[in-house]
Amino acid sequence: MGDLRINRRRPLPKLDLRAAPGMGHNGGPPLDEHIPEWGVGGIRTYFDWRTASEAAFKALPVETAIRRAKKAEALGLTFREYQLEILERSRFLQAEDVERIAEIKAKRRR
């Protein structure tokens, strides 16, 4: 069998007990620094908004969605950007709406 005595020639490493988490701590990240997906406000509003947003995009008939996707591509927008313009402003963008299209594209870079 081997020698079970501690090797006295090599010094033991020093432990910094001040940095150790307290009893009952799981070692996870601090909760006060974490900002959840819904931000710092209430969670109910976030899920209500998310449900309504998903419903607005799923409620379209397939033919309408395809037609709007082609129109968005012709204008240089994504389907989501084009659909949001319709839902938010009740406006169907045309090729003449150069300023508004430029505003939407500028928001992408932010």
Tell me the average pLDDT of the chain.
81
pLDDT at 5 over 90: no
Residue at 4 is within a domain: no
pLDDT reported for residue 26: 73
24: its two tokens: 């009952």
Residue at 2 is within a domain: no
43-89 pLDDT tens trace: 778 888 888 888 887 888 899 999 999 999 999 999 999 998 998 88
How many domains, in total, are found in the chain? 1
Q: How many CB atoms lie under 10 A from the CB of residue 75?
A: 20
Q: Which domain holds residue 83?
A: 61-108
Residue at 41 is within a domain: no
For helices 79-89 and 98-108, what crossing angle results, to 10°? 120
